[in-house]
């Protein structure tokens, strides 16, 4: 062949057709049913979207079986209980976190065959007529049996709890909308419209056949194995250095401070790490810029805790805040909430930790 | 965590980018693994949606790259890719249209290059990325990328001549 032709051009023309066949379609509803991690919204500008394009949700996957759960069930209310804090509770964010670190370090955890977590996740979605939109909270539970050994498989169960109006005002708007039991949203071309259902669905096994032991955890947006998690250093400087290295390896598209908060937050919330590492993660958060305390609060299930808040400037000048709610008696994380701050603070999403413990039991079949 | 328009943003991003992420996954890991890579990449994208830049493709390719390295042992991925490269060359050989010789030769030459060279060349020739974007995906500066791309082109040209090639094999290790 001629050496005069540009080899890149030749290569470009030789592009194999196999590249263009496209992937096996993925179930977008199943993907978006996963809880999102807290992140930094300041790094990107909001996409300009057509007014009608509101959220796609897991509800598309929710098979309608039960009618019992009506939208009139008690709605999760943004609740910041009144101060004052108990006399023996530290009044600074740093103090709260250091006490929590002391408490969790005393955990007598010895590991086990599975790390079992149960979480409830809620997300606020805007629905209803364009002229009078209102918010509903879409809730779901997720139960994970995450194998310690690569010889065992991991299992994830999922259940949609349906959607309900977010506040009393939203409930009123929902009534004026005629008490719809579901909300349909137009989807981009080629996609099925998304249905948010007020009704819950059956408990589903999300991982038919189970998952192999690898990549079942996510830390800072990247997969991490149980072995890697159990080998994390229980030393403040070493853990921070490890996370900073991971941050750089991932390309560093968000701020380092945000990345450190998000990763440490995940470690204290529900990842299988030693009590010592969890304690160090609390200390790491205590040393970050932008940490404040909100004092005594209750989570979306009414459990009492103390809240530590991490606030950053989001899109269009709005403030986005992640609240980590800690049980002051045990130092364990109870919940994480994501708020948009403004004239009226708005709860955007929440994650409740209903259980996070080691188990040698056999995972349920369904 | 979740913005009101998160679902719509994600769906749009999937609609506009899934074919390119798949093409990248095929060119790096073969079609046997590509579906898995795409699924995992978009799961990470959803979970980290608030950190995905406005132009998402380079971010998605970096993530796909990390997914491939994290999820499969190198031997597994390379075996799958080797099968893919053989299939391309064979299919190009079987083609009787004009220009097939050159087409088959360039694909066969590509298969003989190092993985690093192959990645640079296909990012530019097949993914249509700018040099800046491609440099971001492979994690080097734009200046370094130009140098590496220049060398990779020279090696591809050399590999298209019949073996044995004339270039210095020691350059492979750079």
Q: Is A3 an 8 Å CB contact of chain B? A: yes
Closest-CA distance of chain A to residue B143, Å: 17
Which two tokens mark A44? Answer: 């990107």
Q: Is A219 an 8 Å CB contact of chain B? A: no
- CB nearest to B71's CB, from A35, A188, A215: A215
Give the per-residue pLDDT at A352: 95
Nearest CA in chain A to B73: A214
Test B31 with A18 for CB contact under 8 angstroms. Answer: yes
Give the total residue count for chain A.
366
Q: Is B95 an 8 Å CB contact of chain A? A: no
Calculate helix-pair angle for A236-249, A256-269, nearest 10 degrees. Answer: 120
Please return the burial class of A234, using the count of CB atoms within 10 Å of its CB with bins 0-12, 13-18 and 19+.
Answer: middle
Measured at the alpha carbon of residue A301, what is the angle toward residues A330 and A283, in degrees to the nearest 5?
A: 35
Q: Report the C-alpha gap between A1 and A158 in whole angstroms.
A: 58
Test A10 with B101 for CB contact under 8 angstroms. Answer: no
Q: How confident is the model at residue A64 (pLDDT cuts 50, 70, 90)?
A: very low
Find out whether A301 and A161 touch, Cβ atoms under 8 Å.
Answer: no
Nearest CA in chain A to B33: A23
- CB nearest to A40's CB, from B50, B66, B92: B50
First-to-last C-alpha distance (Å) of chain B:
43
Q: Report the C-alpha gap between A292 and B130 in whole angstroms.
A: 42
Test B42 with A26 for CB contact under 8 angstroms. Answer: yes
Q: Domain B1-72 belongs to what topology?
A: Rna Polymerase Sigma Factor; Chain: A (1.10.1740)
Q: Residues A15, A19, A21, A25: what is their CA dihedral angle, to the nearest 10 degrees?
A: -160
In whole angstroms, how far apart are CA A185 and each of A126, A195, A217, A309, B94?
Answer: 10, 6, 32, 33, 48
Answer yes or no: is pLDDT of A297 > 80.
yes
Q: Is B148 an 8 Å CB contact of chain A? A: no
Give the per-residue pLDDT at A47: 31
Q: Is A48 an 8 Å CB contact of chain B? A: no
Test B27 with A12 for CB contact under 8 angstroms. Answer: no
Q: Is A255 an 8 Å CB contact of chain B? A: no
Q: How confident is the model at residue A267 (pLDDT cuts 50, 70, 90)?
A: very high
Give the per-residue pLDDT at A137: 93
Q: Is B26 an 8 Å CB contact of chain A? A: yes
pLDDT, tens only, A308-360: 999 887 655 678 899 999 998 889 999 999 988 877 888 989 999 999 888 88
Window A:256-315, CB contacts with B under 8 Å: none
Closest Cα to residue B10, out of B40, B52, B38? B52
Give, for B68, the enclosing helix (H) or strand (E): helix B57-71
pLDDT, tens only, A93-135: 888 888 888 888 877 766 788 889 999 999 898 898 888 899 9
Closest-CA distance of chain A to residue B168, Å: 19
Least confident of A180-194, A226-240, B23-37, B66-80: A180-194
In whole angstroms, how far apart are CA A36 and each of A40, A109, A211, A266, B82?
Answer: 12, 28, 20, 11, 36
Residues forming a β-bridge with A205: A157
CB atoms near residue B142 (< 10 Å): 13
pLDDT, tens only, B1-18: 445 578 888 888 998 899
Closest-CA distance of chain B to residue A324, Å: 12
Give the per-residue pLDDT at A77: 34
Give, for A161, the enclosing helix (H) or strand (E): strand A155-165
On chain B, the residues whose CB falls within 8 A of the CB of A222 are: 44, 66, 70
On chain B, the residues whose CB falls within 8 A of the CB of A40 are: 50-51
Closest-CA distance of chain B to residue A144, Å: 17
Test A35 with B47 for CB contact under 8 angstroms. Answer: yes
Q: Is B79 an 8 Å CB contact of chain A? A: no
Q: Report the C-alpha gap between A198 and A161 in whole angstroms.
A: 8
Average pLDDT over residues A46-73: 31
Nearest CA in chain B to A54: B5
Closest Cα to residue A123, out of A191, A185, A38? A38
Per-residue pLDDT of chain B (174 residues; tens, 9 = 90+): 445 578 888 888 998 899 999 999 999 998 888 888 898 899 889 888 888 888 899 899 999 998 888 777 777 888 888 888 888 877 776 665 555 677 888 888 898 888 889 999 999 889 878 888 888 888 888 888 888 898 999 999 988 885 433 333 333 333
Give the per-residue pLDDT at A103: 82
Please return the burial class of A308, using the count of CB atoms within 10 Å of its CB with bins 0-12, 13-18 and 19+.
Answer: buried
Answer yes or no: is pLDDT of A73 > 80.
no
Q: Is B103 an 8 Å CB contact of chain A? A: yes
CB atoms near residue A42 (< 10 Å): 18
Average pLDDT over residues A138-167: 89
On chain A, the residues whose CB falls within 8 A of the CB of B39 are: 23-24, 26
Sequence ranges of the domains in chain B? 1-72
On chain A, the residues whose CB falls within 8 A of the CB of B153 are: 7-8
Test B102 with A14 for CB contact under 8 angstroms. Answer: yes
Average pLDDT over residues A187-199: 76
Find out whether A326 and A304 touch, Cβ atoms under 8 Å.
Answer: no
On chain A, the residues whose CB falls within 8 A of the CB of B4 are: 54-55, 124-126, 348
Sequence ranges of the domains in chain A? 26-359
Q: How confident is the model at residue A40 (pLDDT cuts 50, 70, 90)?
A: very low
pLDDT, tens only, A277-288: 999 999 999 999
Count of CB pairs separated by less than 8 Å, A with B: 205
Residues forming a β-bridge with A121: A140, A351
Percent of chain A with pLDDT over 90: 26
On chain A, the residues whose CB falls within 8 A of the CB of B23 are: 19-20
Give the per-residue pLDDT at A282: 95
Window B:30-69, CB contacts with A under 8 Å: 31, 34-35, 38-40, 42-44, 46-54, 59, 62-63, 66-67
Q: Report the C-alpha gap between B149 and B135 in whole angstroms.
A: 10
């Amino acid at each position: 062949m001629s050496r005069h032709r540009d080899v890149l051009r030749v290569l470009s023309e030789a592009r194999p057709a196999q590249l263009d066949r496209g992937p096996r379609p993925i179930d977008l509803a199943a993907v978006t049913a996963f809880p999102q991690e807290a992140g930094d919204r300041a790094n990107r500008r909001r996409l300009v979207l057509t007014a009608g394009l509101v959220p796609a949700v897991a509800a598309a996957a929710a098979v309608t079986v039960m009618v019992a759960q009506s939208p009139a069930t008690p709605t999760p209310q943004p609740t910041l209980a009144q101060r004052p804090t108990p006399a023996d509770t530290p009044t600074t964010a740093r103090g709260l976190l250091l006490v929590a670190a002391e408490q969790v370090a005393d955990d007598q955890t010895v590991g086990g065959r599975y790390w079992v977590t149960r979480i409830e996740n809620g997300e606020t979605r805007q629905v209803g007529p364009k002229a009078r939109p209102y918010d509903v909270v879409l809730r779901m539970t997720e139960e994970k049996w995450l194998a310690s050994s690569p010889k065992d498989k991991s299992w994830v169960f999922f259940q949609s709890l349906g959607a309900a109006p977010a506040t009393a005002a939203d409930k009123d708007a929902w009534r004026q909308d005629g008490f719809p039991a579901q909300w349909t949203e137009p989807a981009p071309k080629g996609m099925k419209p998304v249905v948010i259902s007020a009704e819950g669905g059956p408990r589903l096994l999300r991982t038919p056949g189970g998952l192999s032991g690898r990549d079942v955890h996510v830390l800072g947006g990247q997969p991490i194995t149980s072995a890697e998690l159990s080998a994390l250093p229980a030393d403040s400087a070493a853990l921070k250095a490890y996370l900073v290295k991971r941050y750089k390896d991932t390309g560093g598209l968000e701020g380092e401070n945000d990345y450190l908060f998000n990763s440490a937050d995940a470690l204290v919330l529900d990842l299988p790490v030693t009590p010592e590492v969890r304690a160090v993660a609390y200390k790491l958060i205590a040393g970050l810029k932008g940490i404040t305390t909100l004092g005594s609060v209750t989570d979306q299930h009414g459990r009492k805790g103390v809240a530590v808040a991490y606030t950053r400037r989001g899109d269009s000048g709005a403030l986005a805040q992640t609240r980590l709610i800690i049980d002051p008696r045990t130092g364990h994380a109870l919940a994480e909430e994501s708020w948009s701050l403004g004239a009226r603070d708005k709860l955007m999403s929440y994650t409740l930790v209903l259980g996070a413990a080691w188990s040698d039991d056999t995972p349920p079949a369904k | 965590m979740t913005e009101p328009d998160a679902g719509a943003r994600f769906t749009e991003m999937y609609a506009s980018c899934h074919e390119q992420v798949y093409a990248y996954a095929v060119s790096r890991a073969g079609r046997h693994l590509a579906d898995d890579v795409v699924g995992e990449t978009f799961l990470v994208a959803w979970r980290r949606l608030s950190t995905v830049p406005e132009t998402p493709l380079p971010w998605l390719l970096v993530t796909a790259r990390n997914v491939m390295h994290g999820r499969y042992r190198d031997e597994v991925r390379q075996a799958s890719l080797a099968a893919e490269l053989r299939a391309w060359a064979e299919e190009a050989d079987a083609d009787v249209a004009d220009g097939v010789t050159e087409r088959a030769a360039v694909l066969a030459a590509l298969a003989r290059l190092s993985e690093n060279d192959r990645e640079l060349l296909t990012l530019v020739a097949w993914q249509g990325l700018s040099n800046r974007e491609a440099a971001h995906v492979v994690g080097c500066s734009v200046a370094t990328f130009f140098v590496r791309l220049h060398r990779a082109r020279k090696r591809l040209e050399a590999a298209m001549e019949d073996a044995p090639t004339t270039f210095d094999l020691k350059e492979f290790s750079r």
